């Protein structure tokens, strides 16, 4: 697989980053995850943070040598072999109760997409998603893979309080709110799984690169 | 035990915060004026990782449940222990039952209260710091409320000792051009360095919102989400910059115009709404040298306080 050259840049006084050429694709994002895995444990590194089509590595500022950091990033990038592109990912199933009070906007998503609520749920569960990167809240995963047919604009009036565990659609994205917060996504369901548990050994249910499936536990009618 | 009688505008348990978890969306949290918490801990010979209270503006009062040594560093209030004035930047003995009150913040925005042995909040993801957005750490992941009783670590045998000063605050904050700097118009770039920026009241521990000349981008290319850190200066579409602080989320999509150097982040912690800031260009090497100097000065102070009192 041929590779266009990445763009390397620094962020602040002790972080370096690499951005891959547009467009962002799943194949490129896989390379970002593998680069993150390959950099884990490199000396002096504090954080290795995948973004969308990019990766940032921060160092302890007093140990930071920019030449060394850029060399390290370049070497790890070049050493990734194309053969490993299909490296296995963790599979996480998220049980969801769709509709009713658990998903008050399921009817609105159905109306917008021209599908029945049952068809929305069927398509949402049939798709395979992958965690592109994380942010917004502890344990919040930006998922790629929402079927285009399900894309629905955000609510005109964001809710002031979205319960933790809410499963939503916002534009062409889908995801789960780990904590109670304000939010503008259309809520189609709710999971009882904890997306973030600060006292667990593994504090977040999801990590960059995970494959995710939503499993319908129940479909309630409004 | 330390009992909160009056929590003021916002008081929370903070230490040096969390590292290495940003890829999971877990923020740093921790003291906004890290050198001030470090000084307060040094005044008591506490571990540098000990947790203290970050006190914002006040008025605050707390009662000591055991004999304790306390130290304040950061913003200047009129601190009183059982009605008698005490000094900021000084080790002070409080008897069990004594009440510390902080009112009339004269200068700065946040002060740090350290107690010998530290605040013994549970370690959560490697720190005791409160993550107010994530709702964990500290005391139930929230700002302190009247009636909260905080456990304290083991008391230390201390005696009166010398004090230390806080550095003078200046509105000049050093910054490096950010990765998206070139996408701003030359006049926006010039305005960023030359104009005065006003801290707005909608600032919090996640970010400091500034008001001034709107910073317009040359072309409005959509950016893909990327990692951000405390100190990153973002320019959202309205052109009014936001400086991310310790509780900020870990990835973002706004263009990054500049980054405030780590050695000057404490100045942001002490800038009140209405304060004016100026950005001063700096090189990355100078930024690291400034931080190394700040760390060295802290260690020298810590050493001096120890050798003079033990």
Taking an 8 Å cut-off on Cβ atoms, the answer to whether B250 and A142 are in contact is no
**Between residues A80 and B102, the one the model is more confident about:** B102
Among the residue ranges A66-75, A150-159, B22-31, the one predicted with the least confidence is A150-159
CA separation for the pair A44, B68 (Å, rounded): 38
Give the domain extent around B248: 172-288
Q: Is A19 on the interface with B (CB under 8 A)?
A: yes
**Between residues A167 and A24, the one the model is more confident about:** A167
Q: Tell whether B87 and B190 lie within a shared domain.
A: no
The mean predicted confidence, pLDDT, of chain A is: 93
Asked if the model's pLDDT at residue A2 lies above 60, the reply is no
**pLDDT value at residue A1:** 46
Taking an 8 Å cut-off on Cβ atoms, the answer to whether B178 and A61 are in contact is no
- pLDDT (tens digit per residue) in A120-136: 999 999 999 999 999 98
- Residue A28 domain flag: yes
**pLDDT value at residue A181:** 87
> If you measure CA to CA, which chain B residue comes closest to A10?
B179
Pairs of CB atoms within 8 A across A/B: 135
Percent of chain A with pLDDT over 90: 84
Phi, psi angles (nearest 5°) of residue A19: -120, 130
- Residue A1 domain flag: no
Q: Tell whether B134 and B12 lie within a shared domain.
A: yes
Asked if the model's pLDDT at residue B40 lies above 80, the reply is yes
Cβ-Cβ contacts under 8 Å for B33 (sequence gap 6 or more): B54, B74, B110, B112, B266, B269, B270
**pLDDT value at residue B21:** 97
**pLDDT value at residue A44:** 92
The residues facing B102 across adjacent strands are B60, B79
- C-alpha distance from B298 to closest chain A C-alpha (Å): 14
Q: Residues of chain B whose C-beta is under 8 A from some C-beta in A?
A: 19-27, 124-125, 131, 133-137, 141, 176, 178-179, 224-227, 229, 231-232, 249-252, 256, 259, 261-262, 284, 287-288, 291-292, 295
The residues facing B152 across adjacent strands are B119
Q: Tell whether A203 and A133 lie within a shared domain.
A: yes
Q: Is A46 on the interface with B (CB under 8 A)?
A: yes
Q: Tell whether A101 and A188 lie within a shared domain.
A: yes
Instruction: For residue B71, give the nearest of B231, B301, B269 by alpha carbon.
Output: B301
User: What CATH number corresponds to the domain at position A181?
Assistant: 2.40.100.10
Asked if the model's pLDDT at residue A175 lies above 70, the reply is yes
Q: Tell whether B87 and B209 lie within a shared domain.
A: no
For chain B, the domain total comes to 2
- pLDDT (tens digit per residue) in A187-207: 999 999 999 999 999 999 999
Q: Tell whether A136 and A159 lie within a shared domain.
A: yes
CA separation for the pair A85, A26 (Å, rounded): 11
Phi, psi angles (nearest 5°) of residue A78: -65, -35
What's the average model confidence in pLDDT over B78-105?
95
**DSSP-based three-state secondary structure for A174:** strand
What's the average model confidence in pLDDT over A31-35?
94
What's the average model confidence in pLDDT over A29-58?
95
Question: Which residues of chain A does B27 touch, with a Cβ-Cβ cutoff of 8 Å?
Answer: 138
Q: Tell whether B241 and B272 lie within a shared domain.
A: yes
Q: Is A38 on the interface with B (CB under 8 A)?
A: no
Number of Cβ within 10 Å of residue B218's Cβ equals 12
Q: Tell whether A118 and A187 lie within a shared domain.
A: yes
Instruction: For residue B181, give the nearest of B262, B248, B224, B235 by alpha carbon.
Output: B235
Q: Among A138, A139, A206, which would you mutate to test the B interface (most chain B Cβ atoms within 10 Å of its Cβ)?
A: A138
Q: Would you place residue B162 in the very low, low, confident or very high pLDDT band (cuts 50, 70, 90)? A: confident
Asked if the model's pLDDT at residue B176 lies above 90, the reply is yes
Asked if the model's pLDDT at residue A84 lies above 70, the reply is no
Taking an 8 Å cut-off on Cβ atoms, the answer to whether B26 and A47 are in contact is no
Taking an 8 Å cut-off on Cβ atoms, the answer to whether B24 and A204 are in contact is yes
Taking an 8 Å cut-off on Cβ atoms, the answer to whether A17 and B179 are in contact is yes
> If you measure CA to CA, which chain A residue comes closest to B250?
A135
- Residue A120 domain flag: yes
For chain A, the domain total comes to 2
Asked if the model's pLDDT at residue B149 lies above 60, the reply is yes
Question: Which residues of chain B does A179 touch, with a Cβ-Cβ cutoff of 8 Å?
Answer: 134-135
- pLDDT (tens digit per residue) in B223-258: 889 999 999 999 988 899 999 999 999 999 889 999
- pLDDT (tens digit per residue) in B196-221: 999 999 999 999 999 999 998 887 66
CA separation for the pair A20, A23 (Å, rounded): 8
Instruction: For residue B292, give the nearest of B268, B262, B267 by alpha carbon.
Output: B262
What DSSP assignment string belongs to A42-80?
A: -TTEEEEEE-SSEEEEEE-GGG--HHHHHHHHHHHHHH-
Q: Tell whether A80 and A102 lie within a shared domain.
A: no
Give the domain extent around A28: 7-86
Instruction: For residue B224, give the nearest of A18, A38, A89 by alpha carbon.
Output: A18
Taking an 8 Å cut-off on Cβ atoms, the answer to whether A14 and B224 are in contact is no
- C-alpha distance from B88 to closest chain A C-alpha (Å): 29
Asked if the model's pLDDT at residue A158 lies above 90, the reply is no
Instruction: For residue B225, give the nearest of A65, A103, A188, A24 by alpha carbon.
Output: A24
Q: Tell whether A48 and A118 lie within a shared domain.
A: no
Taking an 8 Å cut-off on Cβ atoms, the answer to whether A11 and B20 are in contact is no
Question: Which residues of chain A does B231 touch, with a Cβ-Cβ cutoff of 8 Å?
Answer: 12
The mean predicted confidence, pLDDT, of chain B is: 95
> If you measure CA to CA, which chain B residue comes closest to A53?
B224
């Amino acid at each position: 697989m041929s590779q266009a050259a990445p763009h390397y840049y620094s962020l602040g006084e002790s972080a370096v980053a690499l951005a891959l050429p547009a467009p962002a694709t799943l194949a490129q994002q896989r390379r970002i995850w593998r680069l993150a895995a390959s950099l884990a444990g490199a000396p002096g590194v504090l954080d290795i943070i995948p973004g969308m089509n990019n990766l940032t590595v921060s160092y302890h500022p007093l140990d930071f040598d920019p030449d060394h950091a850029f060399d390290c990033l370049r070497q790890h990038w070049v050493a990734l072999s194309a053969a490993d592109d299909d490296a296995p990912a963790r599979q996480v199933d998220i049980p969801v109760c769709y509709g009713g009070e658990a998903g008050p906007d399921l009817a609105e998503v159905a109306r917008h997409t021209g599908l029945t609520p049952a068809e929305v749920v069927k398509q949402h569960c049939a798709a395979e998603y992958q965690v592109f990167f994380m942010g917004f809240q502890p344990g919040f995963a930006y998922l790629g893979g929402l079927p285009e047919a399900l894309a629905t604009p955000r609510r005109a009036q964001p809710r002031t309080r979205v319960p933790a565990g809410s499963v939503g659609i916002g534009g062409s994205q889908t995801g789960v709110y780990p904590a109670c917060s304000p939010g503008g996504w259309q809520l189609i369901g709710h999971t009882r799984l904890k997306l973030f548990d600060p006292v667990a050994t593994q504090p977040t249910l999801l990590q960059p690169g995970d494959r995710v499936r939503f499993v319908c536990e129940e479909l309630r009618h409004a | 035990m330390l009992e909160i009688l009056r929590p003021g505008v916002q008081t929370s348990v903070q230490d040096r915060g969390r590292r290495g978890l940003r890829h999971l969306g877990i923020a740093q949290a921790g003291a906004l004026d890290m050198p001030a918490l470090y000084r307060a801990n040094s005044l008591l010979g506490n571990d540098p990782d000990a947790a203290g209270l970050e006190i914002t503006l006040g008025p605050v009062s707390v009662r000591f449940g055991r004999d304790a040594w306390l130290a304040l560093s950061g913003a200047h209030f009129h601190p009183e222990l059982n009605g008698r004035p005490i000094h900021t930047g000084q080790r002070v003995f409080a008897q069990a039952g004594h009440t510390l009150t902080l009112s009339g913040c004269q200068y700065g925005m946040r002060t740090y209260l350290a107690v010998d042995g530290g605040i013994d909040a549970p370690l959560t993801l490697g720190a005791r710091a409160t993550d107010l957005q994530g709702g964990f750490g500290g005391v139930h992941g929230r700002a302190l409320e009247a009636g909260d009783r905080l456990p304290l670590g083991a008391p230390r045998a201390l005696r009166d000792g010398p004090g230390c000063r806080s550095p003078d605050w200046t509105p000049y904050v050093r910054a490096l051009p950010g990765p998206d700097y070139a996408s701003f118009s030359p006049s926006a770039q010039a305005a960023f360095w030359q104009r005065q920026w006003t801290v707005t009241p909608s600032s919090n521990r996640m970010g400091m919102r500034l008001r001034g000349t709107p910073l317009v981008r040359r072309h409005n290319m959509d950016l893909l989400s990327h990692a951000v850190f405390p100190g990153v200066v973002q320019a959202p579409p309205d052109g009014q910059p936001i400086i991310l602080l310790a509780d900020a989320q870990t990835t973002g999509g706004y263009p990054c115009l500049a980054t405030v150097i780590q050695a000057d982040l404490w100045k942001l912690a002490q800038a009140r709404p209405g304060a004016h800031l100026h950005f001063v260009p700096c090189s990355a090497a100078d930024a690291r040298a400034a931080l190394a100097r700040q760390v060295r000065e802290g260690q020298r102070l810590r050493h001096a306080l120890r050798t003079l009192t033990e």
